[in-house]
Structure 1
C-alpha cells in the first residue's frame, strides 16, 4: 500500500473519530446537533429530538446545563424534561430547576372555589398547605365549619354592598382566619370610605388601571368566579385549580322574585338551592343580580383560555377539578383534586 493511500485512510479514521466525539458531546450535554437545528425537518421532528435528548440525561447538573432542558421533581420522582425558564413544556412539576447553577423553585399553585353544586360534600380542610380563593356568600358555610380561604372576592356590585357587615367582620378577623387579602369593587368605598386605604383590601378598578400587564388587565367579560381566577395570576400563581365552577345556573330559583333595578330578591329561604353547594347560600331578603349564565359566566371563562393562549408571558395554567362542570366542554384540562395537591 502506498504512502498516499495510508495517509488517506488515516485521515478518514481521524475524521470519523472526531465526528463521534462531537456527537457524544451533544448527547452528553443535551444540545442539538447542527444538522438537526438547520435541517428542513418540521417543527414536530425538532421537538421530538429535543425531548429525546432531555429524557436521556440522568444527571441533574448535566440536565440543567443542556439547552431547553430542566430538572423536574415530583414527590419521590425526578427526571430531565424539556421546558423553559418559567415552566416545563409538557409535564407538571412540584419543583422546576432550569439553567446552570439556578436554584429549583416551586410552581406556585392556587385553588379557586366557586360555589356550584359539585362542591357539595367537599372537605375544605384537605386543602391544607395550598393557598385558596373563596368568594361571595360562601362565608355562611365557612363560618359553620370554621374554615377560611387565603383570599376572598366579591366583585358583584350588588352583592358587595348588600353584605358590607359580613365583609367588615371577615376583615376584622382576618388575622385569626388566615385570610391575606380581600378583593372587591370600588363602589363599596362610597359606603365604607376607609376601605380605600385598608392594606388588605384591593379594588378591581385599581388593578385594571395599573401599568402592569396581567390577566386582570386584559379581562373583558366579567364574573366574580372568572375574575378571581384572573386575580390568581395577578398574585403570581402559575397552576390554578377551579373547583365548584359548574356554569349551570338556573336563572330564577324557587323563592326568588323580581326586584328594583333588574335585580332579584329572595322572598323566602329555599329548602334546596339548585345553584349552590349548600341550601342556605341565599336566604330570605338577599338581593342579587340575575346570573346571566351564558352571556356572563360561560363567556368570561372562555375568554380566560383565549387570554392564556394570547399571552404566554403571563405564565399561568388553569385546570378544572369538577367532573360535572361545563368547563370541560369549553377546553379546560381536567385534573383531580388529589393529583393537583401532589404537584
Structure 2
C-alpha cells in the first residue's frame, strides 16, 4: 500500500513537468530612501521604505513537433511596503509563438520603445534602482514608452549582430471618431563590445500638449505624439559608456511642438563591485508654441556590491532640478509634480533575484 501511495505521489510531481516547461521567476527589491525636496510645491525632508520594482512571474513554453513553441507569461507587480494596485497579471502577461525568426506575443506587454534601452543603451536599462530611474511618462527619457494592455509584439532573433522589434498597441480602441493605435519599432546592433540603435513610436489620434506629463488616453482624430531616439555605447575592460538623444513631438489642435532630451552614462565593474554615473538633460519646448524654462536636468551616482550571484546591496544619490515651468519626476514619485521643484534622493537597499 505504501508503495502504491508513493508511486501516485511521484506521478503527480512529474506529470506537469512532462507536459510543459514552467518556471517561476522574480525579483524582490527595496530600499531605505531619504528625500529632500524644495521649490514652489511641498517642501519635504522624509525617510521612507520604498519598493524598487519588485515583481513575480510564472512563465512557460510548450514545444511543438515542428520546432515552434507556445510561450506564455503571467507577471505581477509586488510592493515591499504599502501595496498599490497589485492586481494579478498587471505587468507583462501574454501568450504567443516562438520560432527561429523570433517571438510574436499578444496581451499586456511592453512596447518596442519601452524595451529599446536594453538592446542598445544597456547602462540605462536594469542598472539603476527606482530612486534614480529617469524614464517613463512624466520623467526625462522615453516619455512615450508604455506597457499596453492590448498589444501585439514581435521580437526578432539576432541575425549576426543585428535585430529588430516592433509592436502595435491600443488594438480595439477605435471609438468611431479616433483610432488611437500605437506603432513602435526598434532596430539595433550589438557585437558584445559596441551597441547602436534607433527607435520610433507614434501615438496616433492621441491629443496632448507637450508638457512634462503627457496624456496618452485623450483621443482626437488628427492629433498625435511621436518619439525619435538614437543611441549606442561601448563596453571594454569593465568600463561602459552609453549616450542617447531623443525628440518627442506633438501635433495638438494644429500646433506642432517638440522637446529634445539627451543622456550620457558611464560605469565600471570589477569583481563584485560596480559604480555608475549619469547626466540627463531636457531642453525647452520649441515649435509653434514654445515654452521657456520648461527643461530639467538630473544627475545620478550609484554603487553596487554583489553578495552572491542573485543578491546585491546598493547605495545611490540622485539630484533632479526642474526649470520654472517643468514638473518632471522619477519613478518613486519625487518631486510631486509641481513646476520648478527640485529634489535630492539618497537610497540604500537590497535586491535579490530568483
Q: TM above 0.5, one fold?
A: no
Higher strand share: 2
TM-score of the pair, normalised by structure 1: 0.25
Higher Cα radius of gyration: 1
TM-score of the pair, normalised by structure 2: 0.25
